[in-house]
Amino acid sequence: MYRSPNDDAGPLSSRRALLEATDRLDADDTPVEEREELLARVRGFEEVAQQRVADLRTQLARAEEFADTLRRRLIKAEVPGADPLRAG
């Protein structure tokens, strides 16, 4: 689970807060004012999660580029004169 931007207590506390918020949103007896607060809290978690997804995509792209560079170097080292761009 991802940490809320305002949560300094740690991931377990964040997970608990998110679960409590979603449980209260699912309850039929949650007052309108509380629902608005809970929705804002869950939106905060969603924003943090979306940012984490974007960060992971960037990290994955960099890792893929690095692996491709290593593959090309291996091809070039194993077969002198080989064109690493053509070794798909």
Q: 49 lies in which domain range?
A: 11-78
Instruction: Give how many domains the chain has, as a whole number.
Output: 1
pLDDT digits (tens, 9 = 90+) for 23-78: 999 999 999 999 999 999 999 999 999 999 999 999 999 999 999 999 999 998 98
> Sorting pLDDT into bands at 50, 70 and 90, what band is 18?
very high
Determine the Cα–Cα distance for residues 13 and 19; give it in Å rounded to an integer: 10
Asked if 14 and 35 count as a contact pair (C-beta separation under 8 A), the reply is no
**Does the predicted TM-score (pTM) go above 0.85?**
no
Assigned domain for 4 exists: no
Assigned domain for 24 exists: yes
Cα dihedral: 32, 2, 51, 24 (round 10): -10
Assigned domain for 84 exists: no
